[in-house]
A and B are shown apart, each in its own frame.
Chain A
């Protein structure tokens, strides 16, 4: 039914103001290193390069319009496309763009004033969610606790993880602060980068 053709990792803007957030240029560089060997996932800097923090729904809108633009460019070059390719899905419709997240994000929809209701609606109605299970989170419960999520649950795809893991960036930073090994938790190239740039050396308040 679906064919996933691309994955985009969009690191958040520095102005998000989250505790212990390293500079965007570093976070983007680390993602790029981690994705060096991936044939289908890429990092995108647009969100992190904006002057201010922007809401997730606007990031989705931006990337969707980019997809439409590319698709329009492809179909304008119509005379150069071999006839057998025109019938393939890539040329008949723009890809759907879905927000990939962990089950914990569904829970954050409930946090007062964190998300605008109309944004949650647009995300699940116009785009869709692909939500990966996470230890300690019951996404069926989160869906049933929200009227919007329940209404659009057909557009929320729940993915069971192959392994249960509560590995998180928070844990990795904690280990780094304590001088403990994070080898095999993050790619070697990212570990070297962290060391070379002296990142995550002490907890910032």
Chain B
């Protein structure tokens, strides 16, 4: 079955998409990076979308998750992990905030940034057509029905979608973890691209939630056909036990972890006894 070769096809008719992933990235692993690749392939292959950027937004230290090491290191590792990527970048706005920020706020911030960039781009290239010979059309000559020539079409900002795994989606059901209005905003206003190994279970979860069901067309489920269980938790456990994590995280990340001896029994005890920030906020 031939696949769509997106480099040859006219991408102008597609909706541009930016994928945002929030999380601890403690540390970033090849699994996180694979989520982006799987999501991009899936969205592009529908023929409707053109994924232009992926943003990794590590959570701030104020999240108070057990075992979370400082944002400075987590950001650096994410940067090392994405240095060979042409489309992934790391954003520090979320982690720079001294208070923990809800995901909906992070989405809102990035949406505003995309809108601002889009607005700036459309100022730079003026919308009025210039005829061959360089003469600008006179006001009374402008005819609304005339086809626009080579000047760039004014298009809206890219659609911002939240990229996540099935466990993230299912965490919507954890009491007091999410504000119901935030869940609604995330699926209604933005949309989710959710990578799942067990598509049926995830569909069932969506089916059983009124708000998710209502916006199911905005929840894109992407099947991950193979098990590749590289979780940050397992990485930290392996490190505590002196086991090799090579080939489970990018080379530069493994070297960084080793250089700074980042994960240990002590670091796993960070925030022990602390209440996770969202629970504190949603009491």
Task: Please give the residue numbers on chain A whose beta carbons come within 8 Å of chain B beta carbons, in ascending order.
Answer: 37, 135, 162-168, 171, 178-181, 183-185, 188
Residue A178 contacts which of B1, B248, B251 (CB distance < 8 angstroms)?
Answer: B1
**A160 CA / B171 CA spacing, docked (Å):** 29
Asked whether, in the complex, the Cβ of B33 is within 8 Å of the Cβ of A183, the reply is yes
**A178 CA / B2 CA spacing, docked (Å):** 7
B234 at the interface (CB under 8 A from A): yes
**A184 CA / B38 CA spacing, docked (Å):** 11
Asked whether, in the complex, the Cβ of A163 is within 8 Å of the Cβ of B3, the reply is no
Q: Name the B residues within 8 Å of A165 (CB-CB).
A: 226-230
Q: Name the A residues within 8 Å of B85 (CB-CB).
A: 183
Q: Given that A181-B40, A181-B41 are contacting pairs, would A162 and B245 also be in contact in the complex, using a CB cutoff of 8 Å? A: yes
In whole Å, how far is A37's beta carbon from the nearest beta carbon of chain B? Answer: 6
Q: Name the A residues within 8 Å of B3 (CB-CB).
A: 178-180
B5 at the interface (CB under 8 A from A): yes
Chain B 94-116 interface mask (CB, 8 Å, partner A; 1/0) = 00000000000000000000000
Asked whether, in the complex, the Cβ of A166 is within 8 Å of the Cβ of B245, the reply is no
- Chosen A-B contacts, 27 in total, with CB atoms closer than 8 Å, are A162-B238, A162-B243, A162-B244, A162-B245, A162-B248, A163-B228, A163-B230, A164-B229, A165-B227, A165-B228, A165-B229, A165-B230, A166-B226, A167-B226, A167-B228, A168-B226, A171-B225, A178-B3, A179-B5, A181-B37, A181-B40, A183-B37, A184-B30, A184-B33, A184-B34, A184-B37, A188-B84
Residue A162 contacts which of B38, B226, B234 (CB distance < 8 angstroms)?
Answer: B234
**A77 CA / B38 CA spacing, docked (Å):** 56
Number of contact residues on B: which range applies?
A: 20 to 34
In whole Å, how far is B249's beta carbon from the nearest beta carbon of chain A? Answer: 10
In whole Å, how far is B272's beta carbon from the nearest beta carbon of chain A? Answer: 24
Q: Given that A181-B41, A183-B37, A188-B84 are contacting pairs, would A163 and B229 also be in contact in the complex, using a CB cutoff of 8 Å? A: yes
**A64 CA / B238 CA spacing, docked (Å):** 32
Residue A166 contacts which of B40, B227, B234 (CB distance < 8 angstroms)?
Answer: B227
In whole Å, how far is B23's beta carbon from the nearest beta carbon of chain A? Answer: 16
Q: Name the A residues within 8 Å of B37 (CB-CB).
A: 181, 183-184
With A163-B229, A171-B226, A183-B33 already in contact, 4 other A-B pairs whose C-beta atoms are closer than 8 Å = A165-B227, A183-B85, A184-B30, A184-B33
**A163 CA / B230 CA spacing, docked (Å):** 6
For A174, the closest partner residue in chain B by CB is B225
Asked whether, in the complex, the Cβ of A163 is within 8 Å of the Cβ of B248, the reply is yes
**A178 CA / B44 CA spacing, docked (Å):** 13
Residue A185 contacts which of B34, B40, B231 (CB distance < 8 angstroms)?
Answer: B34
For A168, the closest partner residue in chain B by CB is B226
Q: Name the A residues within 8 Å of B30 (CB-CB).
A: 184-185
For A170, the closest partner residue in chain B by CB is B226
**CB neighbors of A among B222-274 (8 A):** 225-231, 234, 238, 243-245, 248, 250-251
**A188 CA / B37 CA spacing, docked (Å):** 14
Q: Name the B residues within 8 Å of A162 (CB-CB).
A: 234, 238, 243-245, 248
In order of increasing CB-CB distance, the 10 nearest A-B pairs are A181-B37, A179-B3, A184-B30, A184-B33, A163-B229, A164-B229, A180-B41, A166-B226, A162-B238, A165-B228
